[in-house]
Amino acid sequence: MNDTHHHHHHGHAHGHDHSELSEIELRVRALESILVEKGYVDPAAVDALVETYETKVGPRNGAKVVAKAWADPAFRDRLLRDATAAIASLGFSGRQGEHMVAVENTPQEHNMVVCTLCSCYPWPVLGLPPVWYKSAPYRSRAVIDPRGVLAEFGVALPAATRIRVWDSTAEVRYLVVPMRPEGTEGWSEEELAALVTRDSMIGVGLPLRPGEARP
Amino acid sequence: MNDTHHHHHHGHAHGHDHSELSEIELRVRALESILVEKGYVDPAAVDALVETYETKVGPRNGAKVVAKAWADPAFRDRLLRDATAAIASLGFSGRQGEHMVAVENTPQEHNMVVCTLCSCYPWPVLGLPPVWYKSAPYRSRAVIDPRGVLAEFGVALPAATRIRVWDSTAEVRYLVVPMRPEGTEGWSEEELAALVTRDSMIGVGLPLRPGEARP
Amino acid sequence: MNGGQDLGGMMGFGPVQPEPDEPWFHADWERRALGLTLAMGATGQWNIDMSRAARESLHPAEYLSSSYYEIWTKGLEKLVLQQGLVTTDELKAGHALTPPKPVARVLKAESVPAALAKGSPAERPAAAPARFAAGDRVMTRVMHPAGHTRLPRYARGKRGTIERVHGAHVFPDSAAAGAGERPQWLYTVRFSGAELWGADADPSLAVSIDAWESYLEPA
Amino acid sequence: MNGGQDLGGMMGFGPVQPEPDEPWFHADWERRALGLTLAMGATGQWNIDMSRAARESLHPAEYLSSSYYEIWTKGLEKLVLQQGLVTTDELKAGHALTPPKPVARVLKAESVPAALAKGSPAERPAAAPARFAAGDRVMTRVMHPAGHTRLPRYARGKRGTIERVHGAHVFPDSAAAGAGERPQWLYTVRFSGAELWGADADPSLAVSIDAWESYLEPA
């Protein structure tokens, strides 16, 4: 176990030392060899699955959804009423997005999404979750100390803003629709989408403002 | 961390591999060197503390208390009314036994002691706690599944017997007075004390019966 | 089960630490762990609730000291062993030593896009009308099952308000045990921070969970 | 804090495993860890509640994967660092590199028997009459303090009965924070298994905790 002196960093693969990485690498390799040899798994299917999530699905999908909701009031209404259908109409659907709900930030209420029990996340619109989303610090604190978590992301909301945390305990997946930044009147959906960060769609960040460089 | 293949054994020093023992050995040695060099600790005092708990204090103290309670009704009454004083009258007192409560098993109710939050234990009467008492399996399950725990100690109580678990969350320490075994009429306190196991004074065991060998 | 996965409200893990670059994968084994987990899921030998139950049954110290792809890998090992698809000797050897067991499906590369697009919807026809409607006050059950459940500890025995009615969904507590889908109405239940965490809670906080009907009683 | 130490009702740790021989110590470092912890406690630089708080603040994965003497050792390291008695450089070097800080007492070998016999009683004169009496029905508070507390999670927001009144005892939530002893009446509070664990609890089970007065409200 982790007895390195004063080494209290846990739960991140990149925090592990080399010998442990080798251990898990060997374990995964062994598993793949067995599963392929037994014919349960087509290694080309594994390649295709990995390639899909590494290159084809990601938060630009969600940004298009949000930008359209900002630009098109009828789409926004459909999105808030039936997010699964509205998102599918843009071509995003399927695994880990079968039952979508979109929740809209307002000056009165800020939404934030977590999965305290595992790592539920809306893959078709956001891609795979980042390490921190799946790790104990976020999962443990989002429901009890969301302002403390937001502060670690550099977000300070007005004290009067209510914070609404959605714990994804079922197969429903939540997409936060952040508030449209000021100064974007008349912008195209493409221009708007460039302001929509992944963090803003989880609720741990705010969209970029006009002129603000993507971090 | 512990990634040894299928090595799921945690929380016992003897379950750790050699390299880890060396790590903690080095750590303790470093700490002692510093504390002694700085004059905070007298190494002879450390020796004396260890010697006390290794050779002078142990569950035979508690067995004497229980045997006397069995043999002497007036002592039993004093023990149940003011255990700290009654136990001190036999010469057992001090650290981790400052506030004692004795709880008596009956055919109707069986008592069991745990410290879910750390390892609180009545040192003057039982000595240092065993590893299992301080470990997660016992601490987690004693309060929710005491019959399951008792089964692992080979104890099966009648379904009608109530089980009363004492979680030692303060500086009060609990000593279980088990039921006196049948067939011990007229026995001396010394003879009776030989039947009183440590486990029976925690509530995870029963006293030996006459003729039963000490396990 | 009250295992290492039930993290809501726990403390002591330190700050959230986003990575500056946030790569999708940190090493190739993470890619394979993802792909193998999804491909084996496609065999139909288990459902998603069994997968979660397998991960949750890791010793809590192991769960909490493992990265998520490590948890997936260890969970996948448990599942293939439980289902008799792989033996412990094979895991040790790193090679097949026994004949394969038949599985319902093997996902082929060309079927990947369709399989991902289809997903695995959890909604099912409802056998009865919903017991609760939006606005109803409910109380979550106090329950500590040894098996899988999706009612987190922090939200047990708490009063909240039904906010959304989602339809009847596969009941994980049953599906994880291999006892059938037994669909139940699913609700979003909203709680105040004070109800969950006490008087010292952030007064601006509300938290919701998605809760199956049998987790709830009228309040 | 809701740390790794709060184990009551958790699952997944496997069976209780008594050792056949049950040695007091498994290696000499365990002897030294015990002796050093007790000897440093005698310096008066911290109280028992601070010791517990230090151990509980270990990362939960570390807490749950450490043996108890390891936990004590790591807690002692935290305490000597917090108190400025030792520096991190010294821990790394394994030797003193800076002058000692004055401490209130240094325990000498000849004083060990008397110190152990004296112990550290936690009872204090009561400033006010006890609010509750044996037989009273009480409700434990829902609270999730970031600091040290001795009200376990499983017993928060639960109805029970006062069974014993122990006198006024040092209040750990305060003492651990270095905010003074602030003694409070201490009670044994008894709960039914069903109150703590729900309808599926062992019907023959009752559990008690020892609870300070501010943990309790009339019910």
**Distance to chain D for A74, nearest Cα, Å:** 44
Q: Is the pLDDT of residue A15 over 60?
A: no
**Distance to chain A for C131, nearest Cα, Å:** 18
Q: Which residues of B touch A (CB under 8 A)?
A: 1-5, 10, 16, 20, 23-24, 27
Strand-pairing partners, residue B100, are: B173
**Whether D88 and A144 lie within 8 Å, measured CB to CB:** no
For chain C, which chains pass the contact test of at least 3 CB pairs under 8 Å? A, B, D
Q: What is the pTM of this model?
A: 0.94
Is B118 in the active site? yes
Q: Is the pLDDT of residue B50 over 90?
A: yes
Choice among B120, B140, B168, B200 that is catalytic:
B120
3 state SS for chain B: CCCCCCCCCCCCHHHCCHHHHHHHHHHHHHHHHHHHHCCCCCHHHHHHHHHHHHHHCCHHHHHHHHHHHHHCHHHHHHHHHCHHHHHHCCCCCCCCCCEEEEEECCCCEEEEEECCCCCCCCHHHHCCCCHHHHCHHHHHHCCCCHHHHHHHCCCCCCCCCEEEEEECCCCEEEEEECCCCCCCCCCCHHHHHCCCCHHHHHCCCCCCCCCCCCC
Closest chain D residue to C142, measured at CA: D198
Residue B16's pLDDT band, with cuts at 50, 70 and 90, is: very low
Q: Is the pLDDT of residue A12 over 90?
A: no
**What's the mean pLDDT in A16-34?**
81
Decide if A164 touches C, using CB distance below 8 A.
yes
- Residue D171, both tokens: 């209040």
Find out whether B121 and B96 touch, Cβ atoms under 8 Å. Answer: yes
Which residue in B150, B111, B120, B13 sits closest to D16, CA to CA?
B150
A3, A10, A20 ranked by CB distance to B20: nearest? A3
| Torsion angle of C-alpha atoms A50, A56, A57, A58, degrees rounded to 10 | 110
Q: Is the pLDDT of residue B17 over 80?
A: no
Residues of chain C with Cβ-Cβ distance to A161 below 8 Å are 204
**Distance to chain A for C128, nearest Cα, Å:** 20
**Whether C62 and B144 lie within 8 Å, measured CB to CB:** no
pLDDT one-digit tens code per residue, B115-165: 999 999 999 999 999 999 999 999 999 999 999 999 999 999 999 999 999
Choice among B22, B118, B140, B188 that is catalytic:
B118
What stretches in chain D show pLDDT beneath 50? none
Q: Is the pLDDT of residue B4 over 50?
A: no
**Whether A2 and B1 lie within 8 Å, measured CB to CB:** yes
| C159-169 vs C123-124, strand pairing mode | antiparallel
Strand-pairing partners, residue D164, are: D188
pLDDT one-digit tens code per residue, A96-152: 999 999 999 999 999 999 999 999 999 999 999 999 999 999 999 999 999 999 999
**Whether A2 and D62 lie within 8 Å, measured CB to CB:** yes
**Whether B35 and D40 lie within 8 Å, measured CB to CB:** yes
Supply the pLDDT for residue B2. 36
What stretches in chain C show pLDDT beneath 50? none
Is A120 in the active site? yes
Choice among A118, A135, A168, A200 that is catalytic:
A118
Is A168 in the active site? no
Phi, psi of B177 (to 5 degrees): -100, 105
Residue D198 DSSP class = B
Is A115 in the active site? yes
Find out whether A169 and A142 touch, Cβ atoms under 8 Å. Answer: no
For chain A, which chains pass the contact test of at least 3 CB pairs under 8 Å? B, C, D
Could you give the CA distance from residue B22 to residue A157 in angstroms, rounded to a whole number? Answer: 49
Which residue in D83, D119, B60, D198 sits closest to C151, CA to CA?
D198
**Distance to chain A for B212, nearest Cα, Å:** 42
| Torsion angle of C-alpha atoms A21, A24, A29, A31, degrees rounded to 10 | -170
pLDDT one-digit tens code per residue, C71-95: 999 999 999 999 999 999 999 999 9
How far from D106 is each of B43, B94, D30, CA to CA, in Å?
11, 19, 21
Residues of chain D with Cβ-Cβ distance to B156 below 8 Å are none
Size of interface C-D (CB pairs under 8 A): 94
Supply the pLDDT for residue A4. 34
**Distance to chain A for B11, nearest Cα, Å:** 10
C9, C14, C143 ranked by CB distance to D59: nearest? C14
Residue A13's pLDDT band, with cuts at 50, 70 and 90, is: very low
Q: Is the pLDDT of residue B7 over 90?
A: no
Report the residue of C59, C63, C65 to disrupt the B interface, i.e. the one with the largest count of B CBs within 10 Å: C59
Residues of chain C with Cβ-Cβ distance to D195 below 8 Å are 142
Residues of chain C with Cβ-Cβ distance to A170 below 8 Å are 122, 150, 166, 169, 172, 186, 210-212
**Distance to chain A for C133, nearest Cα, Å:** 17
ipTM exceeding cut-off 0.90 for this assembly: yes
Q: Is the pLDDT of residue A19 over 70?
A: no
Find out whether C138 and C162 touch, Cβ atoms under 8 Å. Answer: yes
Q: Is the pLDDT of residue A34 over 50?
A: yes
A25, A136, A143 ranked by CB distance to C207: nearest? A143
Q: Is the pLDDT of residue A16 over 50?
A: no
**Whether A10 and D92 lie within 8 Å, measured CB to CB:** no
Supply the pLDDT for residue B9. 38
Residues of chain C with Cβ-Cβ distance to D12 below 8 Å are 1-4, 56-60, 63
Closest chain B residue to C145, measured at CA: B144
Residue A163's pLDDT band, with cuts at 50, 70 and 90, is: very high
Find out whether D120 and B98 touch, Cβ atoms under 8 Å. Answer: yes
